[in-house]
Amino acid sequence: MKTFLSSFISSLTPYTAGEQPQDRRYVKLNTNENPYPPSPKAAEALRTFDVDRLRLYPSPDADGLRDAIARAEGVERENVFCGNGSDEVLALCIPAFFDKGGRGAAFADITYSFYPVFCDFFSVPYRTVPLKSDYTMDLDAFSKADCDGILLTNPNAPTGIGIGRAVMEKFVAENPDKLIVADEAYMGFFGESAVSLTKRFKNLLVVKTFSKYYSLAGIRCGYAVGDKALIRGLFAAKDCFNSYPVDALCQAVCAAAVSDGEYYAAAAEKVRSERARLRTELIGLGFFVPESASNFLFAGHPKGGEFIYRGLKERGVLVRFWNTEKLKNFCRITIGTPEQDDELLFALRDILSR
């Protein structure tokens, strides 16, 4: 029977989002959401939003939101691009900055698994650079790689390992002919953002999200900060695809959130202190857990990631597991509230005592 699907779309392997089972109550530690609510200012912006504004299209370029982000990041509006989640911003980077017949993109073999999907979707070639044996990024290998640009998750996912600003600066300076896209989805939990470097380096684009640090995964907004020429490239890509990607409500709520730095700094501090506690507890239970700069832990166990993942799911706790050769001993565990993490630890003790 005719499927009506193009042979191109049939040939692709799409990204798989983290599961959201509805059969019971779960402690959800599988998609790196923030356990704390959006800021009171963001909530107020939502409550006081004038519904009549929804009759009209939003600002196509999200100018009010770009101004608020520019203020928070210490750049100008023309240095900021907003999209419908940082996934969309990252996706648009591919047609904006890479040629189909070019040298392509490079990224780590263990990193955000959406990158190869974006490249395949836009028919841009890519190569992967293995992480070092200690799970850190091999920056020397990236410098030597024959490519037009590098997608670098920092802190990396699922390892949680971060690259400090000084190291990043050296890396960007050493690679003037490569575009470095720093995906800083989890940077709020590390505090070493490369945004300030975008003023000096025209080959650096920093991509951030409202989903993690700003506790707004449900509203879908992300942004890029970089040289004005790069930002113009992203706008050209957007306007060939969707003129109004960021809706009016989202623009209002995110502008309020990004202006509430104190609230979010305090919430991130709670996540960081819980991260230290949970890591110590997991190590005590026999896990191997690299130091994390993020809001999740990369936890390996001799009994294997699948054993831990399944045991936890049976006990109502969701974590992320990938059944691949290099990741099969690990689970990625989002930092929850102390109460959620206690439930996780209780379940783990039960699983491991059997």
Using CB under 6 A, pick the residue from 35, 38, 85, 300 that binds ligand PMP.
Answer: 85
Q: Which stretch binds ligand PMP (CB under 6 A): 83-91, 144-152, 160-168, 334-342?
A: 83-91
Does residue number 183 form part of the binding site for ligand PMP (CB under 6 A)? yes
Contact present, 150 and 182 (Cβ < 8 Å): no
Does residue number 117 form part of the binding site for ligand PMP (CB under 6 A)? no
Axis crossing angle, helix 338-352 with helix 305-314, rounded to the nearest 10: 110
- Cβ atoms < 10 Å from Cβ of 344: 24
Does residue number 209 form part of the binding site for ligand PMP (CB under 6 A)? yes
Cα separation, 112 vs 131, whole angstroms: 13
Shortest reach from residue 214's CB to ligand PMP, in Å: 10
Using CB under 6 A, pick the residue from 112, 118, 135, 171 that binds ligand PMP.
Answer: 112
Using CB under 6 A, pick the residue from 34, 79, 86, 329 that binds ligand PMP.
Answer: 86
Q: Which stretch binds ligand PMP (CB under 6 A): 79-87, 260-268, 274-282, 330-338?
A: 79-87
Q: Tell which positions 311-330 bind ligand PMP, by CB under 6 A.
A: none
Residues in contact with ligand PMP, total (CB under 6 A)?
12
Contacts of 315 (CB under 8 A, 6+ apart): 347, 350, 351
Q: Which is nearer to ligand PMP, 33 or 343 (CB)?
A: 33
Cα separation, 49 vs 51, whole angstroms: 6
Q: Which is nearer to ligand PMP, 83 or 351 (CB)?
A: 83
CA angle 151, 18, 347 (to 5 degrees): 120
Contact present, 300 and 288 (Cβ < 8 Å): yes
Shortest reach from residue 80's CB to ligand PMP, in Å: 15
Q: Let me know if 66 is exposed, middle or buried by CB neighbors in 10 A (0-12, 13-18, 19+).
A: buried
Pattern 135-174, ligand PMP, x by CB under 6 A: ------------------x---x-----------------
Q: Which is nearer to ligand PMP, 112 or 190 (CB)?
A: 112
Query: How many H helices and E strands in the chain?
Result: 12, 11
Using CB under 6 A, pick the residue from 43, 167, 217, 352 that binds ligand PMP.
Answer: 217
**Residue 169 CA, distance from chain mean position:** 20
Using CB under 6 A, pick the residue from 33, 87, 227, 260 that binds ligand PMP.
Answer: 87
Using CB under 6 A, pick the residue from 222, 226, 233, 300 that binds ligand PMP.
Answer: 222
Does residue number 79 form part of the binding site for ligand PMP (CB under 6 A)? no
Cα separation, 86 vs 185, whole angstroms: 8
Kindly state the helix (H) or strand (E) to which residue 143 belongs, with its residue range: helix 139-144
Does residue number 185 form part of the binding site for ligand PMP (CB under 6 A)? yes
- Cβ atoms < 10 Å from Cβ of 265: 12
Which parts of this chain interact with ligand PMP (CB under 6 A)?
A: 85-87, 112, 153, 157, 183, 185, 209, 211, 217, 222
